Copies of this chain bind each other. A is one copy, B any other.
């Protein structure tokens, strides 16, 4: 862990770029950087929290305790703020964040964060926009979950990895089959079967965690139609 100089940071968030010099100094004073290896918990549901996390680089999964077990809600890719909704209201985390790939994260003291929201409307506005985007994304995820069947949801998630996370139609899945199943809201066995199915149809190529999308169009079709 080291104290960061936010002023010279090249990985500033869009929100942080609207801060004044003096405000960035304030941010830098109460901002501590840390590295997380895959599997390491960045913050944990139920624990007290007095920080907002700015995810500079890497990929995390957000998990939440459900009635039966812990569930992966979504992946979140840097750059992004984590734990804004979970820390703003009360001080207790309402979900966990766990590194899925190597991450660098800045821990910002919540009081400093609130102070910045207060003194800089542009900063505040950017944070608010991010919250709004999250809510809309969440609605979309939810309807898709209800109305599409597993085949479509799996296809959708493979496309998200390709288009939104790795920007390539060839990539290594950062999750094992269990976590992938969790993300798609299905069982491990079904994921196995459907991946085999997609491969048999020559829509993708699967080799362990390595995925290669062969027929983007058909995959998108499956993702849309269910």
Stretch touching chain B among A101-109, A125-133, A208-216: A125-133
One digit per residue, 1 when the CB lies within 8 angstroms of any chain B CB and 0 when it does not, for chain A 103-146 equals 00000000000100111010011011101111110111111111
Residues of chain B within 8 A (CB-CB) of A143 are 64-67, 71, 73
Assess the A146–B85 pair: CB atoms within 8 A.
Answer: no
Assess the A145–B142 pair: CB atoms within 8 A.
Answer: yes
Of the candidates B117, B118, B185, the one whose C-beta lies within 8 Å of that of A146 is: B185
One digit per residue, 1 when the CB lies within 8 angstroms of any chain B CB and 0 when it does not, for chain A 175-207 equals 000000000010000000000000000000000
Q: Is the C-beta of A69 less than 8 angstroms from some C-beta in chain B?
A: yes
Q: A residues 129-169 with Cβ under 8 Å of B?
A: 129, 131-136, 138-148, 152
Q: Is the C-beta of A94 less than 8 angstroms from some C-beta in chain B?
A: yes
Residues of chain B within 8 A (CB-CB) of A135 are 85, 131, 134-135, 138
Q: Is the C-beta of A88 less than 8 angstroms from some C-beta in chain B?
A: yes
Of the candidates B117, B133, B139, the one whose C-beta lies within 8 Å of that of A138 is: B139
Assess the A141–B139 pair: CB atoms within 8 A.
Answer: no
Residues of chain B within 8 A (CB-CB) of A140 are 64
Q: How many angstroms between the C-alpha atoms of A76 and B202 in the bound complex?
A: 45
Interface residues on chain A, number (Cβ under 8 Å): 47
Residues of A near any B CB (own CB < 8 A): 64-69, 71, 73, 84-86, 88-89, 94-95, 114, 117-119, 121, 124-125, 127-129, 131-136, 138-148, 152, 185, 224-226
Known: A67-B226, A131-B132. 20 other contacts (CB 8 A): A64-B143, A65-B143, A66-B147, A67-B143, A67-B148, A67-B225, A69-B147, A86-B132, A86-B136, A88-B128, A88-B129, A88-B132, A89-B136, A95-B136, A121-B121, A124-B124, A131-B131, A131-B135, A138-B139, A145-B145
